[in-house]
Amino acid sequence: MDKTTGGWINGFLGVLIFSGSLPATRVAVADFDPVFLTVARAAIAGVLALALLMMFRQKRPKRDDMVSLMIVAFGVVVGFPLLTALALKHITSAHSIVFVGLLPLATAIFGVLRGGERPRPAFWFFSGLGSLLVAGFALLQGVSVSPVGDLLMLAAIIACGLGYAEGAKLSRTLGGWQVISWALVLSLPIMATLALVTMPPSFAETGQPAWLGLAYVSVFSMLVGFVFWYRGLAQGGIAAVGQLQLLQPFFGLVLAATLLGEAVNWPMVAVTAAVVLCVAGARRFAK
């Protein structure tokens, strides 16, 4: 298996894991405060990451890597989880798909700005078309509108795209799972302190679905998914593999249908097929 193919496989596994993030967050914020959910998931993942780094005796990052790790922490450890959790207090998970559809484009742009990549013009056509298909599909579902929720989701996408591109660039030298692990450990003192400060006085009214949502976003969304995702971006290219995120909303809808009872209809299948073609086209013209 060549490096590029391995990158696409790792990227696909990462996207598959991330697809459960918004449904799990939606369930968790029903009983948890968004701020507590954000810091708690980061603190739990940080403890696990610290254990992994110690277990495998990983060397500390170089001083030159610290700025990049701080950007990763800002984008994917704090920024995206907090902003989406706050947004999902104002909008539905279906409405958030409008913005998730823009994430591949944001990642590609930051891949150019931070990763030094230069995709061909045809790449931008397929990337933009795929984003429009996802956003258009979500808008046609009759989603509710909230200016506050929209602004929060837009900020979340920008922060996430930056964190993805910066982490992928650093993964080329530091390693995929090491990047997210060190970013989590770097954030751990602050996140753990805030988790204790924002912890509710009682969890008596917290239901099992909320606990399962917290567990998923802590272990899989914050740590395991990034192990595959950053490795995939580093191997296959930030802009190219990043287009796999176009499939994330549809995987998320399937999970939402399974877990939350939402309907899956033929337009969703048709748009998914069109998005797959856009991803294939973007891959072909990425370099």
Task: Report residue 19 as tokens.
Answer: 């697809």
Calculate the average pLDDT of the chain: 88
User: Would you say residue 256 has pLDDT above 90?
Assistant: no
Q: Which residues of 69-104 are buried (b: 16+ CB within 10 A; e: fewer)?
A: bebbbbbbbbbbbbbbbbbbebbebbbbbbbbbbbb
251 pLDDT more than 90: no
Q: Where are the domains of the chain?
A: 3-284
Distance linking the first and last C-alpha atoms of the chain: 19
pLDDT tens-digit profile of 129-147? 988 887 787 677 665 567 7
Which range, of 42-56, 94-108, 158-172, 248-262, averages the lowest pLDDT?
248-262
Summarised one tens digit per residue, pLDDT across range 157-176 is: 999 999 999 999 999 889 88
Residue 255 has pLDDT above 60, yes or no: yes
- Supply the Cα-derived Rg of the chain in whole angstroms: 18
Supply the pTM of this predicted model.
0.87
Q: What is the DSSP letter of 201?
A: S
Per-residue pLDDT band at 101 (split at 50, 70, 90): confident
The phi and psi torsions of 60 (rounded to 5 degrees) equal -70, 150
Closest by Cα among 73, 168, 183 to 114: 168
Whether 45 has a pLDDT exceeding 90, the answer reads yes
Task: Determine the Cα–Cα distance for residues 126 and 173; give it in Å rounded to an integer.
Answer: 30
- In the structure, what pLDDT confidence band is assigned to residue 260 with cuts at 50, 70 and 90? low
3-state SS class at 245: helix
Say which range, 49-53, 68-72, 85-89, has the weakest mean pLDDT.
85-89
Residue 210 CB neighbour total at 10 angstroms = 19
- What value does the mean pLDDT take over residues 22-44? 92
Taking phi first (over 0 means left), then psi (-120 to 50 degrees means alpha), and beta for anything else, what does residue 116 get? Answer: left
List Cα–Cα distances, 16 to 65, 109, 167, 213, 273, in angstroms.
28, 22, 19, 16, 16
Which region among 11-25, 126-140, 263-277 has the lowest average model confidence (pLDDT)? 263-277
Continuous segment of H or E residues that includes residue 175 = none
